Structure 1
Amino acid sequence: MMETKRSTLAVILITSLFFLWGFAHNLDPILIPHLKRSFTLTTVQATLVDSAVFIAYFIMALPAGIIMKKYGYKSGIIIGLLIFSVGCYLFLPAAQVQSYNFFLAALFIIACGLTILETAANPYITLVGKPETSTFRLNLAQSFNGLAASLAPIIGGKLILVEGVSDGALAKMDLAARKSVLASEAASVQGPYFVLGSILVILAVIFYFIKLPDIRTNNEGRTKRSFWGVFKHKQLSWAIAAQFFYVGAQVSVFSLFILYATKSAGITEKEATYYLGVCGFAFLIGRFFTTFLMRFFKAHHLLVTYAFISILLCFVAIMASGITTVYAVIGICFFMSVMFPTIFSLGIKDLKEDTELGSSLIIMSIVGGAILPRFFGYLSDGTGNIQNGYYIPLACFAVIMLFGLKGQKITRNDIINQPNEIL
């Protein structure tokens, strides 16, 4: 009975982490237009927000796994929360000194904490409680991540995107007055991130004092595998590539939505934040609905269908005008909602003793979110039309469709005669 209560408490606390990192990620689309205006950035320069975040995933994925093995999941979660909170608190001096690079450094530190949290929470929530309900627990937790995706843009838009001086009036000011106005607007991030940082510290303290199941991976008796040998799994190699392009597409769609919608549909930033909230809600509904459909259809068939529909919607986002473009992007958010977990699960299927390394490599491929939005920005700035940037997500969904058609197929002779030492 006591162990059951501990497992239930663990699930509740860990589920809160899914919401918190989902909330943090979905504040980035609010930060991009906010910082773009505050520091007079180009679209390409503004995408450095995503670069700072997702490069951290590439750098920290393997170290995070080492932390879990050495100190356990609970300690990993506490470390992740504290690093996450440090990054939030750094927003205060970043706004004070008016340095874009300072903001990027703070975002990088936040993302380091998020990487550790995600590396710990995803497997931990499947390990606490009954094994037969592990999938349900993970899906339940992921739904709160989707909930955060719908709430963060609305809440962040109200708190961060303050009603400031118009661009026309700003252009007529002298340099000193313009800097003063922009500095005042930039300071709007301090309050929300201070509150978020404080919540994280409180949560870390709770995790420290609450007794939770201490689960650690036991590697005794396992044969050591070659690092490079893991790439002989065809489905894993394809999944790493597909996840790279998927995350690049998702970040391009969500993070640049406000910049896109204000240009393509001619709406205000405030209105765009509400539509971004609808995008998050569509993402959440898509995850629930498609999970239901997977009872009747094979996952890779749904992946191919969803990727194809997303390609068609990208064409609409490029060619159409007015509010139709916004509706097309909302549709994309619905159909890409289950791509990440589907690619992940198909990629690590039947890896057996290579599962841990394969999982880390797929997590590292999240770096696509740091790279591909830059190309979105280059294409938008180079052509003078932000709608053309959607050729990038279009190409990404084409790769995902290929993965669903052929890349997810498992080969049975892909780990024969591998060396037993780690290179």
Structure 2
Amino acid sequence: MPSVVSSGGQPTENAQQTGGSYGPALTLLASLFFMWGFITVINNTLLPHLRSVFDLNYTQTTLIESVWFIAYFFASIPSAKLIERVGYKKSLVIGLLIMAAGAVGMMAAASIPSYGVTLVMLFVIASGITLLQVAANPYVAVVGKPETASSRLNLVQAMNSAGTMLAPAFGAYLILGRSKSGTSMAGTVLTDAERLADAHSVILPYGLVAAVLVILAFIIARFPLPAMGSNSAAAREKRSHLINPELFKHRNLVFGIPAIFIYLIAEIGVANLFINFVSRPDIGNMTHEHAGNYLTFLWGGMMVGRFAGSAIMQRFDAAKVLAVFSIGAFVVAMMATLTHGPVAMWSLILIGLFHSIMFPTIFTLGIKGLGPLTEEGSGLLIMAIAGGALVIVQGWIADTYGLQTSFLLTAACELYVLFYALWGSKPTHVEPDPVAVETD
């Protein structure tokens, strides 16, 4: 899942004095990236489960994920204000405890069961993740030597990918594998008693998640993380200012913001509807539990693509690589829409491979040449992650015209990314590059 790091200041003396002790701190921070990737992707197995439990249409199902990404939009500014008031370390603890409270709330929602309470609790969890991202990212830049910051950021992102890969297996086993709807073939009609029993299958996995989050919060509260210095505080103050109109003179940023927004619609739509699509009789003809295991290949492809894309971009222009990957994504999206059986299933899986480089590459191209405006531009690109909330549009298309037809929206999103790669990403009014790091 997307996360961005922008180093607003140099590491403080306190941070640098940790010397060789930064390894344990980095490991602890990497665990946070793992957890929010893990919890975010649990939704991919939770959605088909809730669709069966509450007898939802696709619009109602994708509304669940929309609520999740709306939290990115509404919680980001309050998170920044909270960090300014209580500091980064306490914010990390608060973020984890908010997530744990949401997980406990999910247990309560499953006990009732209630669709409305489920939506509220998922918003709470996502708000905690938003605070965690805003608070954790700067630490990755300051813990350890400045010259190795890039390798540290790649490491924690690998942990994020590990979380997204393991979550489908966790959800398939503990949610789908323990429910009647998850172990039955598509089209099976459940009785009210079976729906209630299925709803209760969410209690155990979210209880485990809540316990892990509380333990992490306790460890971080007791761990001597390095302090942030005045340079970072000044950077936070700068980011709190109103949007600078000079930003809109940069074409690569102006078209990059909708590129991130639109790309998130494609990524989240594919992941959320994957299990329902693959389990269809004319596609994979399998149970939701079995389809959940194939979801691992989708996220695994994204991890492999990140490593491969990083190596490819050592030799080729990033915009050209983005163009090639967007064409590949468009082709396999159309194949998933127009074919059936294993060809359609593996075409949808391959979208993960082609999506892999899109967020970090669009982000890099979007801030290119912004100079002293880089941090403000980065903030706008981060806010664009809320585009994932519009996955509900694909849910409406699936209800109105059919699930397979809804992936035409995915294909259309890839075409905008192609436009951005070929023309929209060309920088204008180039300024000297600042000291900044970004990653996905």
Residue 404 of structure 2 is matched in structure 1 by: 387
Aligned to 1:324: 343
Normalised by the length of structure 2, the TM-score is 0.87
Equivalences for 1:203-214 in 2 at 5 Å? Answer: 203-214=216-227
CA apart distance, 1:168 = 9.6
TM-align CA RMSD: 2.3
Cα separation, partners in 2 of 1:191 and 1:223, compared to 1, 3 Å: closer
* Structure 1: tracts of 5 or more residues without a match: 416-423
What does residue 193 of structure 2 align with?
Answer: 180
- CA-to-partner distance for each residue in 1:81-124, whole Å, 9 max, x for gaps? 11111111101110111100111111000000111111222332
What does 1:269-280 align with in structure 2 at a 5 Å threshold? 269-280=288-299
Residue correspondence of structure 1 range 96-135 to structure 2 within 5 A: 96-135=111-150
Alignment of structure 1 residues 333-372 onto 2, 5 Å:
333-371=352-390
Within a 5 Å distance, the mapping from 1:76-225 to structure 2 comes to: 76-161=91-176, 162-164=178-180, 171=189, 178-216=191-229, 217-219=232-234
Question: What's the counterpart of residue 259 of structure 1?
Answer: 276
State whether residues 251 and 369 of structure 1, in contact with CA within 8 Å, keep that contact through their aligned partners in structure 2: yes
SS at match of 1:90: helix
Q: For residues 81 and 223 of structure 1, do their structure 2 counterparts lie closer, same or farther at Cα, with a shift above 3 Å needed?
A: closer
* Partner of residue 411, structure 1: 428
The SS at the match of 2:225 is coil
Partner of 1:419: none
For the residue of structure 2 that corresponds to 1:267, the secondary structure is coil
Q: Give the AA of the match of 2:277.
A: Y
CA–CA distance in 2 between the matches of 1:84 and 1:222? 29
User: 1:66 offset after TM fit, Å?
Assistant: 2.6
Match of 1:234 in 2: 251
Question: Structure 1 residues 167, 218: CA separation in 2 closer, same or farther (over 3 Å shift)?
Answer: closer
Identity of aligned residues (%): 36
Bigger mean CA offset, 160-169 vs 291-300: 160-169
- Give the whole-Å Cα distance in 1 for the aligned partners of 2:110 and 2:239: 51
Q: Post-superposition shift, 1:228?
A: 4.6
Could you tell me which amino acid in structure 2 is paired with residue 186 of structure 1? A
Q: Counterpart of 1:297?
A: 316
The C-alpha deviation readout for 1:212-251, integer Å capped at 9, x for no partner, is 1111513289799651513333222222111101111110
Query: Contact conserved, 1:86 with 1:197, CA < 8 A, in 2?
Result: yes
Distance 2:42 2:62 in 1: 14
Distance 1:409 1:71, change over 3 A: farther
Note the C-alpha offset of 1:408. 1.9
Partner of residue 400, structure 1: 417
Number of the residue aligned with 1:421:
none
Q: How many residues align?
A: 408
Within 1, Cα distance between the matches of 2:117 and 2:248?
38
Against the structure 1 CA distance between its residues 224 and 105, is the aligned structure 2 distance closer, same or farther, given a 3 Å change threshold? closer
TM-score by length of 1: 0.91
* Distance in 2, Cα, partners of 1:226 & 1:413: 21
Q: Aligned equivalents of 1:124 and 1:346: distance in 2?
A: 24
Q: Structure 1: how far apart are the matches of 2:262 and 2:179?
A: 36
| Letter in structure 1 aligned against 2:93 | I
**Which residue does the alignment assign to 1:418?**
none
> Where does residue 69 of structure 2 map in the other structure?
54
Q: Secondary structure, in 3 states, of the residue corresponding to 2:285?
A: coil
SS of structure 1 residue aligned to 2:340: coil
Write the distance in 1 (CA, Å) between the matches of 2:196 and 2:239: 58
Number of the residue aligned with 1:247: 264
Q: Mean Cα displacement is larger for which, 63-72 or 152-161?
A: 63-72
Q: Are residues 213 and 316 of structure 1, via their aligned partners in 2, closer, same or farther at CA, if it must alter by over 3 Å?
A: same
Give the aligned partner of residue 376 of structure 1: 394
Which AA in structure 2 matches 1:164? K
Query: For residues 407 and 65 of structure 1, do their structure 2 counterparts lie closer, same or farther at Cα, with a shift above 3 Å needed?
Result: farther
Q: Give the letter aligned to residue 268 of structure 2.
A: V
Letter in 2 for 1:15: A
Q: Give distance in 2, aligned partners of 1:116 and 1:350.
A: 28
User: In the alignment, which residue of structure 2 is the partner of 1:288?
Assistant: 307
| Greater Cα shift, 286-295 or 60-69 | 60-69
Measure, in 1, the Cα distance between the counterparts of 2:301 and 2:96.
28
